[in-house]
């Protein structure tokens, strides 16, 4: 009975023209998505779906840890990584447009989005490389590099050039007057030679060369962590250049020489999926791994530790005799006169506890400091306020 059903289904597919694996209600435009005889469409669809899912997970993860990244310099370029991941997600989605058949919608999407999405990825790489170069620019950049909003504007400007070029190219070719009657006029969005499609990507190729060049400059960084970023940029750029050389050679010359003009769409679809995974594995995943959310602190460090009224505990270095070493962080305002505590105070087995309040010693509060106009204090004065028995009398006399 099962064999009879299988034979009946095969005969029905042969008579109705529906490929094996597709239902009777599937439109011919989408046959490549389910045709088991032409398995390239199913394979590309599966790999592209896996890449799109991976990109989406990484995108959500980056947005989630954005406020937790403690390194201010890495946080400045995090929006470039987010934009790069978003464009990579678009590349996997665009691969499906080359799997399905050709019509006015899919052809227009292919011609416009191919260059725009690749330009978005490469513009982020170029901007990242320029940021690394300016980061090591010495006094010009102060070793800090440009601010995050400047990076965003730079990448956006590079990307908008390709958007404008592709939009003008698409509008000009679609709105030109046909020379033949409408009944026999082919779809203008699909009637484009392979050489013209590649020629329209000249600006994207220029961005690719610029990405490789800036990555080489970034490798001259003295800081090892930024050289590592430069190595990631260089590997991504070189791998992308190799993939582009391969698919352009097959798309323009190879398929025609082999007499397989029907391989044009599979060639570009495979190139999109391969380049998308190359972007993820050589750039997005390593850069995400280099982020350090453990330090916390989403806001900028506007107030440093030395600007506080009380110096940080780490400002006091206790030696073997557990006496504080004076660092002279600031000049003492001497708004209060401290009295040395009487000897014989109670101390624990490990010496006096830091921060333990002694009786008979004046402990000014924050409101008292504000009222008296005391803004900055020295490490010695702070030690006298909190633990006077740990400060030698010689240091007290010297400070007085």
DSSP per-residue string spanning 140-178: TTTTT---HHHHHHHHHHHHHHHHHHHHHHHHHHHSSPP
Burial, 135: exposed, middle or buried (Cβ in 10 Å; 0-12, 13-18, 19+)? Answer: buried
Given a cut of 90, whether residue 39 has pLDDT beyond it is no
> CA–CA separation, 132 vs 214, rounded Å?
8
Mean pLDDT lowest for which of 55-64, 91-100, 260-269?
A: 260-269
| Residue 48: closest CA among 246, 262, 275 | 275
Whether residue 244 sits in one domain with residue 331:
no
> CA–CA separation, 168 vs 111, rounded Å?
12
Residue range 281-287: mean pLDDT, rounded = 94
Whether residue 356 sits in one domain with residue 281:
no
| Residue 35: closest CA among 206, 45, 219, 80 | 45
Q: Domain containing 388: what range?
A: 306-399
User: Helix, strand, or coil here: 318?
Assistant: strand
**More reliable by pLDDT, 382 or 185:** 382
The pair of structure tokens assigned to 21 is 């694996």
What pLDDT score was predicted for residue 302?
Answer: 39
Residue range 76-101: mean pLDDT, rounded = 92
How many residues comprise the chain?
400
Whether residue 83 sits in one domain with residue 227:
yes
**More reliable by pLDDT, 49 or 330:** 49
Mean pLDDT lowest for which of 122-136, 182-196, 234-248, 300-314?
A: 300-314
What pLDDT score was predicted for residue 311?
Answer: 43
Mean pLDDT lowest for which of 26-30, 201-205, 306-310?
A: 306-310
What pLDDT score was predicted for residue 14?
Answer: 47
What pLDDT score was predicted for residue 298?
Answer: 40
Q: Would 358 be classed as within a structural domain?
A: yes
Residue range 2-9: mean pLDDT, rounded = 49
Given a cut of 60, whether residue 331 has pLDDT beyond it is no
What pLDDT score was predicted for residue 395?
Answer: 60
What pLDDT score was predicted for residue 29?
Answer: 78
Whether residue 112 sits in one domain with residue 238:
yes
The pair of structure tokens assigned to 300 is 């900028």
> CA–CA separation, 217 vs 197, rounded Å?
32
Whether residue 174 sits in one domain with residue 124:
yes
**More reliable by pLDDT, 388 or 34:** 34
What pLDDT score was predicted for residue 55?
Answer: 97
Question: What's the total number of domains in the chain?
Answer: 2
In the listed set 237, 267, 295, which residue is the last one of a domain according to the structure?
295
pTM of this structure: 0.67
Whether residue 126 sits in one domain with residue 45:
yes
Share of the chain above pLDDT 70, in %: 62
pLDDT digits (tens, 9 = 90+) for 334-373: 444 444 444 444 444 555 554 444 444 555 565 555 555 4
Mean pLDDT lowest for which of 126-135, 219-228, 315-324?
A: 315-324
Given a cut of 70, whether residue 169 has pLDDT beyond it is yes
Whether residue 274 sits in one domain with residue 390:
no
Whether residue 362 sits in one domain with residue 271:
no
Mean pLDDT score of the chain: 74
What pLDDT score was predicted for residue 176?
Answer: 63
Mean pLDDT lowest for which of 169-178, 248-257, 300-309, 353-362?
A: 300-309
Q: Would 3 be classed as within a structural domain?
A: no
- CA max distance for the chain: 110
In the listed set 295, 327, 355, which residue is the last one of a domain according to the structure?
295
Per-residue confidence at 397, pLDDT binned at 50, 70, 90? low
**More reliable by pLDDT, 274 or 76:** 274
CB contact at 8 A, 243 and 271: yes
Given a cut of 90, whether residue 391 has pLDDT beyond it is no
Mean pLDDT lowest for which of 197-201, 238-242, 334-338, 383-387?
A: 334-338
Whether residue 183 sits in one domain with residue 291:
yes
What pLDDT score was predicted for residue 261?
Answer: 73
**DSSP classification of residue 351:** B
Q: Would 64 be classed as within a structural domain?
A: yes
Whether residue 340 sits in one domain with residue 260:
no
> CA–CA separation, 129 vs 310, rounded Å?
41
Given a cut of 90, whether residue 114 has pLDDT beyond it is yes
* CATH number for position 224: 1.20.1070.10
CB contact at 8 A, 91 and 114: no
Tell me the torsion sign for CA atoms 311, 314, 318, 322: positive
What pLDDT score was predicted for residue 242?
Answer: 96
The backbone region for 87, taken as left when phi is positive above 0, alpha when psi lies in -120 to 50, beta otherwise, is: alpha
Q: What is the DSSP code string of 71-136?
A: -HHHHHTHHHHHHHHHHHHHHHHHHHHHHS---HHHHHHHHHHHHHHHHHHHHHHHHHHHHHHHHT
**More reliable by pLDDT, 272 or 105:** 272
**More reliable by pLDDT, 328 or 95:** 95
Per-residue confidence at 137, pLDDT binned at 50, 70, 90? low
CB contact at 8 A, 112 and 167: yes
Q: Would 5 be classed as within a structural domain?
A: no
> CA–CA separation, 117 vs 162, rounded Å?
9
């Amino acid at each position: 009975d099962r064999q009879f059903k299988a034979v009946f289904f095969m005969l029905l597919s042969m008579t109705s023209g529906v490929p094996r694996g597709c239902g009777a209600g599937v439109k011919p435009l989408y046959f490549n998505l389910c045709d088991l005889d032409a398995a390239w469409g199913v394979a590309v669809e599966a790999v592209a779906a896996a890449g799109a899912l991976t990109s989406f997970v990484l995108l959500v993860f980056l947005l989630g840890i954005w406020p937790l990244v403690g390194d201010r310099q890495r946080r400045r370029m995090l929006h470039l990584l987010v934009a790069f991941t978003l464009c990579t997600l678009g590349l996997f989605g665009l691969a499906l447009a080359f799997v399905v058949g050709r019509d006015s919608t899919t052809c227009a999407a292919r011609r416009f989005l191919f260059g725009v999405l690749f330009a978005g990825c490469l513009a982020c790489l170029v901007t990242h490389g320029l940021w690394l170069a300016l980061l090591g620019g010495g006094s010009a950049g102060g070793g800090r590099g440009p601010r995050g909003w400047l990076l965003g504007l730079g990448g956006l400007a590079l990307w908008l050039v390709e958007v404008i070029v592709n939009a003008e190219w698409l509008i000009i070719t679609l709105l030109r007057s046909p020379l033949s009657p409408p009944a026999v006029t082919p779809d203008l969005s699909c009637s484009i030679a392979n050489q013209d499609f590649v020629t329209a990507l000249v600006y994207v190729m220029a961005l690719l060369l610029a990405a490789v060049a800036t990555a080489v400059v970034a490798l001259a960084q003295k800081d090892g962590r930024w050289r590592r970023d430069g190595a990631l940029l260089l590997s991504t750029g070189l791998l992308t250049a190799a993939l582009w050389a391969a698919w352009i050679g097959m798309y323009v010359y190879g398929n025609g020489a082999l007499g397989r003009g029907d391989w044009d769409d599979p060639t570009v679809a495979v190139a999109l999926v391969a380049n998308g995974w190359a972007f993820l594995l050589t750039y997005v995943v390593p850069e995400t791994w280099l982020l350090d959310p453990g330090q916390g602190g989403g806001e900028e460090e506007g107030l440093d530790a030395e600007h506080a009224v009380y110096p940080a505990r780490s400002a006091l270095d206790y030696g073997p005799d557990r006496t504080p070493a004076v660092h002279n962080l600031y000049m003492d305002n001497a708004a209060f006169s401290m009295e040395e505590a009487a000897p014989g105070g109670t101390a624990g087995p490990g010496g006096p506890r830091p921060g333990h309040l002694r009786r008979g010693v004046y402990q000014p509060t924050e409101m008292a400091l504000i009222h008296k106009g005391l803004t900055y204090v020295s490490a010695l004065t702070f030690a006298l306020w909190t633990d006077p028995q740990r400060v030698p009398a010689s240091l007290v006399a010297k400070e007085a």
